[in-house]
Structure 1
Amino acid sequence: MKFNFFSIVLVAFSTFIIGCSDNNDNKNDFGRLTVNLTDAPFPHDLVAEANVTVFKVEARYKGGLELGAQAIDSNPATMKTEQGNHFVILMEEEVQVNLLDLTNGITKNLVDTEVPAGYYDLIRVYVRGVNVVLTNGTTYDLKVPSGAQSGIKIFIKPGLEVKGGLSADLLLDFDVSSSFVAKGNSEDLNNITGFNFKPVIKASNLSTAGTLMGVISEIKDDAAVGVEGAQVAIFAADTLNTTTFSDVAGSYMIMGLDAGSYTIEVEKEAYLKQTTQEVQINAGNKTVKDFELVLE
């Protein structure tokens, strides 16, 4: 009787261990992916809103095709095959965004979900309901070239690796100034006749990218005061990478910069331009760089 009892206990314990091992293996097959949206600031005083509605986001799965096939078999609703490629459906719901609200480190979360572990090299964002609202209330509805049918294709360079049981973060930087092109005289409110929508979006792998932030100020009455509307331009090897503008407090922030060395130029009308070279951006970290402007 004692032998049978201990045999039963041993079998039950072994089954428990195997079950736990299987569960751990399943967890290692999947990781978590978040996708956030931000905006490269739009230096246009005549525009009050730049609105888009995102209704679906997909990612192309490139690593571990066997695992991808297993994921399709286990949960076909979240994956599809298209011309030999595996696409993971990350989100299917309407998210309305005014892109002008997403500046200086403010982001909008689009995706936070589990995906098969492996590499992803392409994001497709499906949009509709695109419009621009001017400061006088005039609204222009824009045609979406392909975003509603085949999605806006955004390549991830370098590719994003999602590891089993861990999280990966992707940032989509929607360049409004390049994406919304004014018709007519863009400097005169009465002479703007509409906008063309030519979406320009950059994908940044936040595990290999860093953030640059700081304050633009000037000295008034022996005290530092923030300078609003100063342009901060980021150059890599003499090539313009991106720009931003300081807010009402003089603060600025640029996310998703690849690790490396950059030259930063800060300028505003009536002030002397400030230039700093060899500013180092480290992956996964924030670099703080403040500037003090002087009147010409």
Structure 2
Amino acid sequence: MYSHEFWHGHCLSIGETKKRIPMLLRRMKFLSMAILALTFVACDKSNNGGPNSSKANFYLTDAPGDFDAVNVEIEKVEVKTDASGFTEIAINPGVYDLLQLTNGVDTLLGEVELTGDTLKEIRLVLGANNTVVVDGETKSLKVPSGQSSGLKIKVNHEITAGLTYDFTLDFDAGQSVKERGNGEYILKPVIRVFSDRKQGATVDGDVQPDSSGTSVMMISQFNDTLSTYTDEDGSFKFKNVSEGIYTVKAQHGEMVGIKTGVAINANAQVDIGTIVLQ
């Protein structure tokens, strides 16, 4: 019967072994803590995308139209980079009322890990359960057959591995919903994509006399148009406004108010004050 153990290739007595055991346990404890700390660091880095990928969050918002509701069924959202084909984003498919997403309100559609150096395209696949509510009456909102396979939106935004990006899909209901002569409505989506939700300016103001539902438009020197409606207190908000000089027009029925020469700088917070209807 043997009463010896081996330590680094040397034969140790039982007494020597007992002396070594506490040292061994301390070393094992230190090694376990080091492994645990390394695990937490690795998990934290994965939240911002792996070393070869970036994370992207996708939000939905709306520039409203003159309707009671615009209900759009979103079945699928896919993205394409320079390193891969279309990849589906995990979203909550369903019907979204775009008019609930106005004046700076948005909702998270989903998120995905991206590889490559450029986000090339976003493809939005709509379902058939689309409606528009006009003067309290719900009407079918048809999607042209050519867009049933998905609406492709060009992005071409550079991405860097390890970083997190926010992309906002601004669904312009006012320009997307068209009425035909026979009283039918069709949906021809007009969507702008903003990257990094803070890249454009935020523009605030109010309209007097105050009332909800006053139409407000921002028209750039290039005739690009943004639109929204006032809240109950007459206030309004535009987000992600590009740099430039704008004319801001408010209209409620036959009453109109205009401000010209409104200068917008990138990433600025701009309060244009009160627009008075006359």
Which digits, 9 at most, give the CA deviation of each residue in 1:179-219, with x for residues without a partner?
Answer: 211122xxxxxxx621122121111112532322222234x
Cα separation, 2, equivalents of 1:116 and 1:170: 16
**Cα shift readout 1:149-168 (whole Å, capped 9, x = no counterpart):** 2x1111126x152541x321
Aligned to 1:252: 236
- Spell out, residue by residue over 1:30-52, the C-alpha distance to the aligned partner (whole angstroms, 9 max, x if none): 3321111111110x2xx432211
2:206 matched to which residue of 1? Answer: 215
Compared CA separation, residues 232 and 200, structure 1 to 2 (3 A): same
2:109: which partner in 1? Answer: 110
Q: Which residue of 1 aligns with 2:3?
A: none
Change (3 A) 1:160 1:127: farther
Specify the alignment match of 1:181 in structure 2: 178
Match of 1:59 among 60, 73, 79: 79
Q: Is the 8 A contact 2:59 2:106 kept in 1?
A: yes
Deviates more, 1:102-111 or 1:227-236: 227-236
Matched-pair contact (CA < 8 Å) for 1:210–1:281: yes
SS for the counterpart of 1:106 is: coil
In the alignment, which residue of structure 1 is the partner of 2:14?
none
Q: What TM-score do you get using the length of structure 1 for normalisation? A: 0.71
Take 2:117 and 2:139, find their aligned partners in 1: how far apart are those partners? 43
Greater CA deviation, 285-294 or 168-177?
Answer: 285-294
How do residues 261-272 of structure 1 correspond to structure 2 at under 5 angstroms? Answer: 261-268=244-251, 269=253, 271=255
Give the corresponding residue for 1:279. Answer: 263
Over residues 59-111 of structure 1, what are the superposed CA-to-partner deviations in whole Å (9 max), with x where a residue is unaligned?
Answer: 1112xx3xxxxxxxxxxxxxxxxxxx522221254221111222111212211
- In structure 2, relative to structure 1, the CA distance for the partners of 1:3 and 1:262 (3 Å cut) is farther
Gaps of 5+ in 2: 1-6, 11-19
- The one of 159, 172, 179 equivalent to 1:161 is 159
Using the alignment, how far apart are the partners of 2:262 and 2:72 within structure 1? 37
The equivalent of 1:236 in structure 2 is 220
Identity over the aligned pairs, expressed in percent? 20
For the residue of structure 2 that corresponds to 1:193, the secondary structure is coil
Alpha carbons of 1:119 and 1:207: their partners in 2 closer, same or farther (altered >3 Å)? farther
Q: Distance in 1 between matches of 2:208 and 2:141?
A: 38
Matched, 1:133 2:133: yes
Structure 1 residue runs without a partner (length 5+): 66-84, 185-191, 219-225
2:56 to 33, 40, 44: 33
**Would you say the 8 A contact 1:174–1:200 is kept in 2?**
yes
Higher gyration radius (CA): 2
Distance 2:60 2:213 in 1: 22
Cα RMSD (Å): 3.5
Q: Which residue of 2 aligns with 1:199?
A: 189
Instruction: Give 3-state SS (helix, strand or coil) of 1:33's partner.
Output: strand
TM-score by length of 2: 0.75
Distance 1:213-1:241 versus aligned 2 partners, 3 A rule = same
Whole-Å separation in 1 of the counterparts to 2:144 and 2:111: 26
1:49 maps to which residue? Answer: 69
Residues of 1 paired with 2:138 and 2:213: CA distance?
Answer: 24
Q: C-alpha offsets along residues 115-150 of structure 1, whole Å, 9 cap, x if unaligned?
A: 33642121101111222233343422414434442x
Over 3 Å counting, the alpha-carbon distance change for 1:241 and 1:49 in structure 2 is closer
